[in-house]
Amino acid sequence: MSELEDVYWQRVAKYCKRLRVVPFVKMVAVCNSLAMGDFDEDSDIDLFVVARRGRLFVVRFLITMIMHLSGVRRHGEKVKGRFCLSFFVDERAANLEKIAIQDDIYLARWVVSLWPVIEEERYGDVFVRENEWVYQGLVKGRRGLNRRRLLKVGGIGAKVRSGLEWILGGRLGNWVEKRMRGWQIRRFEKKFVPTAENKDGVIVNELMLKFHEKDRRREYRDGA
C-alpha cells in the first residue's frame, strides 16, 4: 500500500466511524477511485450507501449532516480528500442491473470493487446475491466483497443508533421520511438538470439518489 493510499484509508476510518450512529443503514461502502486503486492526491473519497426499506431520505440527510459538520463533505471547489456523497439506494433498489447500460462492464467492475466499512448483519452477501448479473460474462472471480476494513458498530454508537431507530421506526419515522423525501427531491430536481451527458448518471426517485453528472460508462465500455 502506498503512503497516499494509507492516508486516505485513515481518513475513511476516522470519519466513517461517526456514521455508526446513523439509523437504518444497511451498508456504507467506499467506491470508485479509492476502492479501485485508481486515485491521486487530488481525488475525493466516494461512498455508496444502502438504506433500510423506506428510510432512504432520513439516512441521506443524517449522513450528509454529519460529514458536513465534520468539515469533510465534498461540495463546490472543496474536493481533495473529502467525502463525495453521490450514491444512495433503498435496499429495494439494491439490484443495480436496472440502471445498467448494455454490456455495462464499468458498473459490473464497480460492484465487485466495493469496500464495505459499515455493514448490518453481513448485508454485503445479500448485495452480492442481488447483483449476480455481474458474474454472467462481465467479470470473473470470487463472489463476495472485501471486508478487511469493517468498522465495528458497538458501544455507545450502537445504543444511539438503536434509540434513533426506535424513535423513527414507526409513524413518526414515516412522517419524517415523507417530509425529507419531498424536500430533497424538489431540491435535487432544481439543482441537477438532465443533459445528454448525465442522462445515465443522474437518477432521482423514491428508491435511488445517484448524482454522477459525468457518466463515462459508454466511453469506458467502447474503449475497453
What's the rounded Cα separation, in Å, for the pair 31 and 124?
Answer: 13
Higher pLDDT among residues 144 and 194, named by residue: 144
Phi-psi region of 49 (alpha: psi -120 to 50; beta: other; left: phi over 0): beta
Mean pLDDT across 73-91:
93
Residue-wise pLDDT tens digits, 5-23: 889 999 999 999 999 999 9
**How far does CA 216 lie from the centroid of its chain?**
18
Strand partners, 27: 50, 119
Higher pLDDT among residues 77 and 30, named by residue: 30
User: What pLDDT score was predicted for residue 197?
Assistant: 61
Residue-wise pLDDT tens digits, 176-197: 999 999 999 999 888 876 665 6
**How far does CA 215 lie from the centroid of its chain?**
16
What's the rounded Cα separation, in Å, for the pair 163 and 181?
Answer: 22
pTM passes above 0.85: yes
Q: What percent of the chain is predicted at pLDDT more than 70?
A: 96
Residue-wise pLDDT tens digits, 57-76: 999 999 999 999 999 999 88
C-alpha cell at 211: 448524482
